[in-house]
Structure 1
């Protein structure tokens, strides 16, 4: 008895799940640390799924995420593989450069001096 794949041509080199690379996590966690120091964020969660990797940011642990930073490699050639999504599901910024996409969140650190 031999095992046969459900697809006639199994995909070679495609990972079973999408994950953030170490350099990407370094950029995200740098921003996360600054936001925690500013008192804006308190917790995070990472999900690595088949089509998307998600870094979720929470104000409190029991809440829905304030923001989701998503990596979708299939969109690399079109809209860009990185996106920042707000609590309401609205895409705040999308692009192919993670640092540029995260700038939309860095603006939250800038506050007027009273």
Structure 2
């Protein structure tokens, strides 16, 4: 989920070919991306029976958690805008928020020349 919203960018050539078609060209999160302090707890005494700790699904939660990284970065960019007197509300950003997208969204003297 984290990588989906921050680094797993699909790039397409002008001819419509997928450029990021292999692990060497496709940026995925690694163990270096995990915070040193990362605490998780499972809900005890849940009422649903038949599932591990009464979980409904196991595939979606990582995607839901990943979107929190997207919005944390978005909030940081909005904070930068407030501190620098940039009126940009609502702030619409694409996913994934790659370093290039974040840098352009910060809208300073240098990136302002390239921003739409």
> TM-score, structure 2 length as denominator?
0.31
Structure with higher RCO (Cα < 8 A, 6+ apart): 2
Of Structure 1 and Structure 2, the greater strand share is in: 1
When Rg is computed on C-alpha atoms for both structures, the one with the higher figure is 2
| TM-score after normalising by structure 1 | 0.32
